[in-house]
Amino acid sequence: MTMIELPVWIEWCIAFMLIIGATFALIGSVGLARFPDFLTRLHAPTKSTTMGVGSVLISSIIYFSVVDTFSFHELLITIFLFLTAPISAHLLAKAALHLDLKRVEQTQDLRAQSAADPDKPK
Amino acid sequence: MLIYALQYAFFAFSIALLLNLWRLYEGPDLADRILALDTIYINSLALLIILGIWHGTQLYFEAALLIAMFGFIGTVAAAKFLLRGDIIE
């Protein structure tokens, strides 16, 4: 795959935003997989994944503004995601409160939790 | 330089998608599965944008925008169903 030659500093900017975004999204998904109960799991992807996708879209804006004509219509997706992620998180949190899902007593790590009261199910 | 960053981003988003799939399979409650689907559509949208940078085409932008819109509608509908037992009252 041959890529178009770009000025070096622009390439560094795009690569920086891509790496930041991908790392944020990965951390959000690790949080989704690792956290102990639903309300903490809700916390991880709705914030850091949105941030990560925003950074990736900014890198796409920079790339296509340099290669092609200046355009920032990727900003549409960014704004849309930044508007809609809190709404869906709010609705899911309301649903979780309504269904009264299992949750840990305090926001601590699991070992401290199960050491405090061992008969409580995780 | 850019090609390595793109490869890293592809790798990171693929791992993220696998973790989301695991949560979708494992998730103890229905709300966890809806949350996993919500994260999956956001991650796949980013993957599509990265593919667009890689191929140097803006063709994938419209697909990403559509995924963003319909994914949000799907999440809201599923959460609403969980909350009320009905979507449109």
Domain ranges of chain A: 9-108
Q: Closest Cα partner for A32 from B78, B20, B33, B47?
A: B20
Write the burial class of residue B12 (CB in 10 Å: 0-12 exposed, 13-18 middle, 19+ buried). buried
Structure tokens at A31: 């949080």
Q: Return mean pLDDT, chain B.
A: 90
Residue A118 phi, psi dihedral angles, 5° rounding: -70, -20
Residue B66 covered by a domain: yes
Distances in Å between the alpha carbon of B36 and those of A47, A89, A114, B18, B50? 14, 12, 26, 11, 21
In terms of Cα–Cα distance, which of A40, A97, A32, A85 is closest to B82? Answer: A97
pLDDT at residue B53 tops 70? yes
* Predicted local distance difference test score (pLDDT) of residue A108: 54
What is the value of ipTM here, to two decimals?
A: 0.88
Residues in chain A with pLDDT < 50? 122
Please give the residue range of the domain that contains residue B50: 2-84
Rounded Cα–Cα distance for residues B6 and B26 (Å): 30
Residue B73 lies in a domain: yes
Residue written as token pair 């509608």: B73
To the nearest whole Å, the CA of B51 is away from the closest chain A CA by 10
pLDDT of B32 over the 70 cut: yes
Look at residue B62 and tell me if it is in a domain. yes
Domain of B67, CATH number, reads 1.10.287
Q: Over the stretch A38-59, which tens digit does the pLDDT of each residue have?
A: 888 888 888 899 999 999 999 9
Q: Do B56 and A6 touch (CB under 8 A)?
A: no
Task: Give the residue carrying structure tokens 């500093």.
Answer: A9
Q: With respect to residue B89, please indicate whether it lies within any of the assigned structural domains.
A: no
Interface of A with B in 48-107 (CB under 8 A): 49-50, 52-53, 56-57, 59-60, 63-64, 67-68, 73-74, 76-77, 80-81, 84-85, 87-88, 91-92, 94-96, 98-99, 101-102
